[in-house]
């Protein structure tokens, strides 16, 4: 066999795992993750550390693998529940970005929508003294409505005045950040923590320090809701007229309009759904994972969700798995830093590499299709 044929044979064997178009939404992100971890391992080797040990410590810190020892009332289970608690708002936020992507929109204002929803739920319910059976569903309702209205405003401005949604959402992020900071510092500040006053336990969406079998664990009530929501969004997008119209508008607005689909209505509707999901992310973050709001700070989850949605191929089920992976890296970084002697910022490098390689998904699809065409042409010429 000649060298050229050997090279071609090797090239085809490398692309074969991602050549099946049916499985590309799963296989390409998976390959991107593997490549990013290899690249991260090279970075860790360059700073003189053992990458296998670092990754092992990363999974230990996230509750995926057991640690050598635990503090009182703690175990691998409590670490894993903390991981799910941190993951819950990220799933909602990433779904918000994914829905907007499906409609051809870029919702970069998830952080602002989270903040507005979290703040309104905090002052209306968090300080109200309502019983848990009323307070918790009301928090979720306020989150959805507040986020949906904010997202709907962005969609309406896009439809009515053709204002780019990226510009609108960035400006609304700043408005939300500083207006809410003013109200917190004027009326709701805690003099000790310099954050908003802590909400009542009845309004909190995470059950904190629940003692079971001599373990104190944080139980995220919103996690199951996040999984159900992802499944529901998949059903809506794949099996309903609304989902079909939103995707049609996202694929080609002019063709959708020619086919009789109301582009403006579906643009607004997509942003309402996206904003509502961002609102759920806000209440599970500010009234779940945390129990107060830090003034002048936008949650990084709103921006991390863009990477997570890209990695998950804007697919609701893919978003769950990509959120799980990014949460593992984020939650395990502190323990990795302390045990392996690697700076915590390496976790950000890993996430950045994952985003970089996942963004190359379209290029990989193009490259695979070109190589398959060449393979077919070569077989035809040989025959």
Task: Give the Cα separation of 132 and 130 in Å (integer).
Answer: 6
Q: How many domains are there within the chain?
A: 2
β-bridge mates for residue 215, sequence order: 212
For residue 299, what are the domain limits?
Answer: 72-332
Structural domain ending residue among the three candidates 307, 332, 357: 332
pLDDT tens per residue, range 310-332: 888 888 998 999 999 989 988 99
The model carries a pTM of: 0.90
Q: Is residue 302 part of a domain?
A: yes
31-50 pLDDT, tens digit each: 778 888 888 888 889 888 88
For residues 167 and 159, what is the distance between their CA atoms, to the nearest angstrom? Answer: 14
Claim to verify: residue 33 and residue 122 sit in the same structural domain: no
Give 132-186 pLDDT, tens digit per residue.
999 999 999 999 999 999 999 999 999 999 999 999 999 999 999 999 999 999 9
3-class SS of residue 315 = coil
Instruction: Say if residue 25 is in the same domain as residue 81.
Output: no
**133 and 28 co-located in one domain:** no
Looking at the structure, do residues 92 and 208 belong to the same domain, yes or no? yes
Q: Does 310 lie in the same domain as 167?
A: yes
User: Per the structure block, which two tokens stand in for 95?
Assistant: 């779904």
Query: Do residue 143 and residue 195 come from a single domain?
Result: yes
Whether 217 and 125 share a structural domain? yes
Distant-in-sequence, close-in-space partners of 233: CB < 8 Å, separation ≥ 6: 95, 98, 99, 273, 277, 316
- Structure tokens of 194? 């310099």
295 touches 181 (CB < 8 A): yes
14 has pLDDT over 60: no
Same domain, 96 and 210: yes
Q: Give the CA count within 13 Å in the CB-facing half-sphere of 42.
A: 6
Q: Are residues 26 and 84 in the same domain?
A: no
State residue 21's pLDDT score.
Answer: 65
Q: What is the CATH number of the domain that holds 124?
A: 1.10.3470
Tell whether the model's pLDDT for residue 100 goes beyond 80: yes
pLDDT for res 380: 63
Same domain, 328 and 372: no
């Amino acid at each position: 066999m000649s060298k050229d044929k050997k090279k071609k044979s090797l090239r085809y064997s490398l692309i074969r795992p991602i050549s099946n178009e049916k499985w590309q939404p799963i296989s390409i992100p998976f390959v991107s993750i593997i490549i990013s971890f290899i690249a991260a391992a090279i970075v860790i080797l360059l700073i003189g550390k053992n990458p296998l040990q670092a990754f092992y410590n990363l999974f230990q810190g996230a509750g995926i693998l057991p640690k050598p020892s635990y503090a009182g009332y703690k175990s691998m289970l409590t670490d894993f529940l903390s991981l799910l608690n941190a993951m819950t708002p990220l799933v909602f936020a990433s779904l918000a970005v994914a829905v907007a992507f499906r409609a051809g929109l870029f919702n970069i204002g998830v952080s602002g929508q989270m903040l507005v929803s979290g703040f309104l739920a905090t002052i209306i319910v968090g300080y109200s003294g309502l019983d848990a059976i009323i307070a918790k569903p009301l928090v979720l309702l306020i989150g959805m409505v507040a986020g949906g209205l904010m997202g709907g405003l962005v969609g309406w401005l896009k439809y009515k005045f053709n204002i780019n949604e990226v510009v609108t959402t960035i400006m609304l992020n700043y408005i939300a950040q500083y207006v809410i900071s003013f109200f917190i510092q004027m009326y709701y500040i805690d003099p000790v923590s310099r954050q908003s006053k802590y909400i009542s336990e009845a309004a909190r969406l995470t059950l904190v320090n629940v003692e079971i079998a001599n373990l104190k664990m944080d139980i995220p009530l919103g996690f199951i809701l996040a999984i159900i929501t992802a499944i529901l969004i998949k059903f809506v997008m794949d099996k309903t007229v609304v989902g079909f119209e939103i995707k049609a508008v996202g694929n080609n607005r002019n063709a959708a309009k020619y086919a009789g689909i109301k582009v403006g209505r579906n643009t607004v509707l997509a942003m309402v759904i996206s904003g509502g999901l961002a609102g759920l992310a806000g209440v599970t973050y500010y009234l779940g994972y945390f129990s107060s709001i830090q003034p002048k700070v936008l949650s990084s989850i709103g921006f991390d969700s863009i990477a997570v949605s890209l990695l998950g191929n804007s697919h609701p089920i893919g978003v769950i798995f990509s959120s799980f992976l990014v949460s593992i890296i984020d939650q395990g970084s502190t323990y990795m830093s302390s045990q392996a002697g690697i700076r915590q910022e390496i976790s950000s490098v890993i996430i950045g590499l994952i985003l970089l390689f996942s963004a190359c998904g379209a290029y990989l699809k193009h490259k695979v299709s070109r190589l398959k065409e060449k393979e077919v042409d070569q077989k035809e010429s040989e025959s």
